[in-house]
Amino acid sequence: SAGGGGKGIRVAYNRKEVEEGFPAVRAEAKGAFGDDRIFIEKFVTAPRHIEIQVMGDKHGNVVHLFERECSIQRRNQKVVEEAPSPLLDEKTRMAMGEQACALARAVNYDSAGTVEFVASGADKSFYFLEMNTRLQVEHPVSEMITGIDLVEQMIRSAAGEKLAFKQKDLKIKGWAIENRIYAEDPYRNFLPSIGRLRTYQAPAEGKQGDVTIRNETGVREGDEISMFYDPMIAKLVTHAPTRIAAIDAQAAALDKFLIDGIADNIPFLGAVMEEADFRKGDFTTAYIKDKFPEGFAGVPPTPAQEKLLIATAAVARAFTARRATQTSGRINPPNGDTRDWVVILDKVHHLTSVALDEKGADVAIDGKKHRFDTASRPGARIISGTFDGKPFAVKIKTAPEGYTLRLRGVTVRCLVATPRGAELHKKIPEKQKADTSKLIVSPMPGLVISIDAKPGQEVKSGEGVAVVEAMKMQNIIRAERDGVIAKVNVAPGASVAADEVMIELA
């Protein structure tokens, strides 16, 4: 009842989930807020999370700065926010705004606050959730569409000034999208990630044509991300005249946001920005579960993206080979000299010819010609430019025999070899994966809260055997198959690393 930020919330579909979730919710609430009181309410399926930004002063004036939609959530915590909402029409917007202002007036509210609602995507009916009497994480999107600095207005109101604007003065100008950058691994159910930020390069901020990019962060390169705090490390905001333009600007900015040393959720965010239903505005708070029912595993490249990634890998390899001739003292081949490579992507061999020049390269992939213009050079972690005239930015990391490439939620491993090397590669047997089915590991670094199994005990697949706390969240560790506990390697109170073996099955 004292909570926020998605902490201390569970959905229970049956008695067993109530028995497991009730003590976990109380413990999370006690640890995060010092108050373990909880309440139980009916769970409403297929909702939209819409909130109204209000602003009041000490003279009884209250206005609303329209709505924000925050339906894209994981673990009941917001991930993507936007303003205005693609769901609301003007009539519903006005009704929600009037009710939010009425609530603020009823309590003599005199600062920035947020009134949250659950809205139905079917008939636009809406229901009060709560009022947050503070500035929300996602307030920048409201600032971007109204031009009002909410922090400034809070200070002016606290100093006793009257609001300098009335409701009729406020208009929606364009569209704003905010993505929360989290230190977490989207490929492992968004588990927290800790470590040192070896690289932290945010996209350039400011106005670029009709688009404005804004990045709010509290970290810098070299900082340590620990298990003791919320995993959010940045808020990336884009504003443009239309929703699609703001989404496209987000996708492009995410491609230029480079983080190394910890896992981050940028691949997931990039995939959401490209997903069809999100782009149409057709989603609910169950979006992540509906779109990725087996968990996020990346998205496959489109045919156009595949060609771009193949070209990027081949050009990067050609640049590296040319640099090697310079450092060896050999004569550098002239611009326009063509060299053949084979790019192996998802076990498919693509014959790729690269002719470097001062502006980039002419590239032929499986016989089809393309133009690759770039100012990036060997060693760059982001290669950007235009491919067949269209702008791009691809994150690239050297891997054995090739590269790992990231783009718009796509992560691929490309091997790049000479034609002879590619022939030999076909003869290399695949490495067999070790059997780890008997090992129950901690999926994240954290603190062991409880061990709920002992040697000799039979367990069923899906049964909870331990609880690990990380970044203010308690995570139930479950057996992945039926078995008998052979050995328990950790005790409550111990710190565990990611992938540390906690329990072994016979």
Could you tell me if 29 and 69 lie in one domain?
Answer: no
**What pLDDT score does 498 carry?**
87
**Helix, strand, coil in percent for the chain, rounding step 5:** 25, 35, 40
Is 431 part of any domain?
no
Q: Over the stretch 89-102, which tens digit does the pLDDT of each residue have?
A: 999 999 999 999 99
Could you tell me if 322 and 401 lie in one domain?
Answer: yes
Could you tell me if 98 and 241 lie in one domain?
Answer: yes
Is 380 part of any domain?
yes
Distance CA 82, CA 359 (A): 38
**What pLDDT score does 245 carry?**
99
Could you tell me if 344 and 445 lie in one domain?
Answer: no
Could you tell me if 28 and 113 lie in one domain?
Answer: no
- How much is the average pLDDT of 96-119? 98
**What pLDDT score does 335 carry?**
60
**What pLDDT score does 323 carry?**
84
Could you tell me if 34 and 14 lie in one domain?
Answer: yes
Is 296 part of any domain?
no
Instruction: Judge whether 130 counts as a catalytic residue.
Output: yes
- How much is the average pLDDT of 233-255? 98
**What pLDDT score does 445 carry?**
87
Could you tell me if 100 and 115 lie in one domain?
Answer: yes
- pLDDT higher than 70, residue 328: no
Could you tell me if 330 and 463 lie in one domain?
Answer: no
Average pLDDT over all residues of the chain: 94
Distance CA 251, CA 245 (A): 10
By residue range, what is the domain housing residue 76?
A: 47-291
Q: Over the stretch 263-318, which tens digit does the pLDDT of each residue have?
A: 999 999 999 999 999 999 999 999 999 999 999 999 999 999 999 999 999 999 99
Is 434 part of any domain?
no
Is 490 part of any domain?
yes
Counting residues of the chain whose pLDDT is more than 90, the rounded percentage is 82
Q: What is the pTM of this model?
A: 0.84
Counting residues of the chain whose pLDDT is more than 70, the rounded percentage is 97
- Which residue among the candidates 19, 98, 130, 161 is catalytic per the annotation? 130
Number of domain units in the chain: 4
Task: For residue 329, name the pLDDT band (cuts at 50, 70, 90).
Answer: low
Q: Over the stretch 386-404, which tens digit does the pLDDT of each residue have?
A: 999 999 999 999 988 899 9
- How much is the average pLDDT of 485-501? 94
The answer to whether 467 and 475 have CB atoms below 8 angstroms apart is: yes
Q: Over the stretch 33-42, which tens digit does the pLDDT of each residue have?
A: 899 998 887 7
Domain boundary among 291, 319, 346: 291
Q: How many CB atoms lie within 10 A of CB 255?
A: 22
- How much is the average pLDDT of 167-196? 96
User: Tokens 């998802």 belong to which residue?
Assistant: 346
CA distances from residue 316 to 165, 347, 354, 383, 397 in whole angstroms, order as listed: 55, 20, 10, 9, 10
DSSP letter string, 180-202 = EEESEEGGGTTEE--EE-SEEEP
3-state secondary structure of 333: coil
- pLDDT higher than 60, residue 331: no
Is 408 part of any domain?
yes
**What pLDDT score does 401 carry?**
83
**What pLDDT score does 467 carry?**
95
Structure tokens at 91: 């009539």
Q: Over the stretch 424-476, which tens digit does the pLDDT of each residue have?
A: 988 888 877 888 889 999 988 899 999 999 999 999 999 999 999 987 788 89
Could you tell me if 339 and 247 lie in one domain?
Answer: no
**What pLDDT score does 336 carry?**
61
Q: Over the stretch 198-230, which tens digit does the pLDDT of each residue have?
A: 999 999 999 999 999 999 999 999 999 998 888
Distance CA 71, CA 281 (A): 10
